[in-house]
Structure 1
């Protein structure tokens, strides 16, 4: 395995060309013979604590080292960023079954260096055509969360195969079948179970063992746990991948796999019909774009999470964030208050734009951001339980997920986030296929809330053929016409706030991408269940006390997100994998 470096094991010498001290010394060394400085043989020092993996040729950053290596090998064979993205997507279905998938969905951004344009693919799952909200209401009139979260009733129609196929059709270079070969080999010959995979399977054993197929595959033929160092072989998944390699998306949506999926669903109380799969299509859409200081941020439109992400940045733009200092109480306070505003709007307005109008232009209006910024006070807090959503007056024009970022030698870029929703999704593996299914039904509003009792439809209410709203936010950042950052993250409702902080760390605080990745994070939501300011370990007790003094209710949480990012400095790719989830790797070509 070549050039694999996790964030914990990064070699500091790889970053020498990226810090000012080393740059000065390198310039001095251009003359030959080099001049001997007074302290030139003494201790070498660096100006950064965290360092990226660097390359001029290409970069793959994902949550799984084996999948990152698969992408790197595709680039080495002459494939472009999209080819590598397809290969990584299928490889993760084998190596990271808690989130990588064929049975889920997601969102992708693709930047073409030739045209200078960025396109977006929405391949979020859709509710089956026969489903209605009453299917998930119990005899007492309450939402039955067992049915929305677990088993055959919890899945939306998967979009991953269609999304990856659409990406390849639009910009792929190598033959489609060749891109699935690494995943087929990994599934057929087996992968070594890591400590993290063993732990994840044990943590979700109660869910996975309820399904005979999942129990058979992931628990030694349903007779015991897989331990670190064991081999996980997935023969049925290998055969499913072979069918997709040979027949493309038709195999999944109209062929043998479709028949197996629908049959297993209907035999176990699920709502899928053959037409649900046959009619599914990934959508090519326009990315959302908004200026942030002297940068341009491109991200996914509704039903994805890019809109509230840009709203937070629009509010931050009204403050001198850099002068406040990274991690200061004032900086964190402004971040938290801006997050409250964006999440309030997300609750009220965000949904599938094919079913209800989402006032995107109104919500991205800089005047609205200024109004929201003006409502923020430095020494008091807005009550997240009572804050109301707002737009300018006048006409308006779960979870376990994974993200990867890819750059190739020509300057093409991919930012992709996809998911099964919860870890291992619904827990259901379709019989004879090895395909784990999502539980994205749980992301819909099943029973409209009091806030919408007088409205004909809540934006995220479940409906046949509808795509549930998402926090997924694959993102590209440009300066002038040049891309400077590729990023995204898993993390459920914390995705939007995590990506926001990564961008602010790079743009406002001028951190290198590895520092920006490692910096402690906060999350501030909205409403009665998410009103506290959650923080990762790593913040100073003095800072937390200052936040309490301002009125924040604090909540100590676990790690947030797992950003997989590439910064671009001239012709240099700087990859940073997030150590918050074990096994992530930036792999250089």
Structure 2
């Protein structure tokens, strides 16, 4: 029998499950769920149940991660996917570490100026909506490669929960209903989105059942045939057909040639913690380590949490690190990325010396001036043997390109918007990119995704990640700082208020309720421009690994859940 405890509101979901199914819903509180038999933290309680069940059946952390990935493609369609891509960072109990890059790629027919008009200006929406926005998807390849390397259960068993959810359906939660309602303006242009509506085209409401028979058939093919069933044959034909109908350029050759790449994780250290994170083509790991190195030079432990002094110095460090993101980061197979320099303590020392008590205008920091969306999803898994997996996956924007592959039932990404369509022009996330991230055939676009594992004395103590586009790096850095410098528990750090600076635009963004009149005044006196965001920053899914158990925390900003398998203990420190 599976003993599964979900964090607070998600526990209600377990009760509902026995009556009407699995609502992907609710507002989880930031409380830890601790267990000795394995822990899962995801953005959707259904996916958490799927992962926990795999662990209970004898699967390891990678098995659970694969099953969660496919389950999210069904139950969390705004970001979970088989038409997108992502990264997985694995740390085995043996100490072996492996990073899998299944980021989307530019089609072979792509070229540098493909989104520019005759005047050299960016064509609005072309890299965001429809077939022209899609890169070559990598998720199926990546999940299969992870299973091939480290999986213990049969591949088809790991897709079975997702197939059942797609074929049998699940009740739509209030949160998902609200998200799906935002697709209404796109129905006429993208009729495939009607699979997410009622028969008359009206929005699904909370309590309605979402059934996806075409997606179920696609997943059945992938379960039987593996990646070949997706990148070749009938599904590939359907993808190429959508490309032809919508002016896209992903070809059969692009699909059949796609391969997941193994890369060496970025490594750093911060106040006694070792940081493992995503290497290029993600900027996540390099910029995270650079940022933490600068903060270590500054020394935050003598400052007060959320004081204007701490905010100023953290924002200035973020400004410098994000300027380097724009200047240097891109696909390492196409450009020379100076990761060793960016993550060195000596370089951070040099940058830290440039920070003064006054804000430095971003124009004075320099850098060549890219983009990136917030609708990503992260999940973390620890199994009973001590294997750890952190996975971040995305369609880029919410529901990607809005284009559903007809006959196959899945959404395609709009990751081409993550390239620098025109160096110096900001993308969806306001990020400005440079030459290193310019469009080239077969190139992987720059990302901020940063699945991260933190070690102490060579042993994993924390696994975490978050969606949020450009805010991913600062969110993870702030959690590390909150724990290492300000003495917070993981629960406190995940729930703590967040802020963000990304070089351009030159302002500090705060979550609601943080900016007091005192902070506004004192930060303005230092030369900062500040703003209050209407949306929260991030949706962290994290697990702390202790001597006798693991404890998962799902961000209270989202509707996710942490679940424990086996003997579930109350959170403690």
TM-score (norm 1): 0.88
Larger Cα-atom Rg? 1
Matched residues in 1 for 2:392 and 2:462: separation?
15
Residue 134 of structure 1, CA deviation: 3.5
Deviations 1:111-159 (A, max 9, x none): 100x212110010000110122333222443211321000011000000
Task: State the SS of the aligned residue for 2:435.
Answer: coil
Residue 563 of structure 1, CA deviation: 0.6
Matched, 1:460 2:437: yes
1:7 and 1:577 in contact (8 A); partners too: no
Residue 549 of structure 1, CA deviation: 2.4
Task: State the SS of the aligned residue for 1:271.
Answer: coil
What is the match of residue 518 of structure 1? 495
Judged with a 3 Å threshold, the aligned counterparts in structure 2 of structure 1 residues 50 and 255 are, in CA distance, closer, same or farther, namely closer
Matched residues in 1 for 2:305 and 2:62: separation?
35
What is the match of residue 564 of structure 2? 588
Matched residues in 2 for 1:421 and 1:325: separation?
35
Task: State the SS of the aligned residue for 1:226.
Answer: coil
Task: State the SS of the aligned residue for 1:487.
Answer: strand
Judged with a 3 Å threshold, the aligned counterparts in structure 2 of structure 1 residues 222 and 385 are, in CA distance, closer, same or farther, namely farther
Among candidates 220, 238, 259, match of residue 242 of structure 1: 220
1:60 and 1:587 in contact (8 A); partners too: yes
What is the match of residue 415 of structure 1? 390
Residue 386 of structure 1, CA deviation: 2.8
2:183 and 2:193 in contact (8 A); partners too: no
Judged with a 3 Å threshold, the aligned counterparts in structure 2 of structure 1 residues 192 and 2 are, in CA distance, closer, same or farther, namely farther
Judged with a 3 Å threshold, the aligned counterparts in structure 2 of structure 1 residues 525 and 7 are, in CA distance, closer, same or farther, namely farther
Matched, 1:477 2:478: no
Q: CA RMSD in A?
A: 1.9
Task: State the SS of the aligned residue for 1:227.
Answer: coil
Task: State the SS of the aligned residue for 1:322.
Answer: coil
Matched, 1:224 2:202: yes
Matched residues in 2 for 1:320 and 1:267: separation?
56
Among candidates 378, 398, 404, match of residue 429 of structure 1: 404
Matched residues in 1 for 2:71 and 2:11: separation?
24
TM-score (norm 2): 0.90
1:384 and 1:525 in contact (8 A); partners too: no
Matched residues in 1 for 2:257 and 2:276: separation?
29
Among candidates 545, 561, 568, match of residue 538 of structure 2: 561
Corresponding residue pairs, total? 534
Matched, 1:71 2:47: no
Matched residues in 1 for 2:8 and 2:301: separation?
25
Pairing 1:55-454 to 2, within 5 Å after superposition? 55-113=35-93, 115-215=94-194, 217-221=195-199, 223-304=201-282, 305-378=284-357, 380-389=358-367, 398-449=373-424
1:444 and 1:469 in contact (8 A); partners too: yes
Residue 4 of structure 1, CA deviation: 4.2
Matched residues in 1 for 2:314 and 2:543: separation?
23
- Structure 2 residue runs of 5 or longer lacking an equivalent are 13-28, 427-433, 566-573
Matched residues in 2 for 1:208 and 1:92: separation?
23
Matched residues in 1 for 2:99 and 2:464: separation?
14
Residue 70 of structure 1, CA deviation: 0.3
1:90 and 1:102 in contact (8 A); partners too: yes
Residue 8 of structure 1, CA deviation: 6.1
Residue 543 of structure 1, CA deviation: 3.2
Q: Give structure 1 regions of 4+ aligned residues with deviation exceeding 3 angstroms.
A: 1-11, 448-451
What is the match of residue 5 of structure 1? 6
- Structure 1 residue runs of 5 or longer lacking an equivalent are 12-48, 391-397, 452-456
Deviations 1:524-579 (A, max 9, x none): 0113xx21100112326133432222221111012101010001121221111002
Judged with a 3 Å threshold, the aligned counterparts in structure 2 of structure 1 residues 209 and 403 are, in CA distance, closer, same or farther, namely farther
Matched residues in 1 for 2:454 and 2:171: separation?
36
Judged with a 3 Å threshold, the aligned counterparts in structure 2 of structure 1 residues 526 and 146 are, in CA distance, closer, same or farther, namely same
Residue 316 of structure 1, CA deviation: 0.7
Matched residues in 2 for 1:477 and 1:545: separation?
36
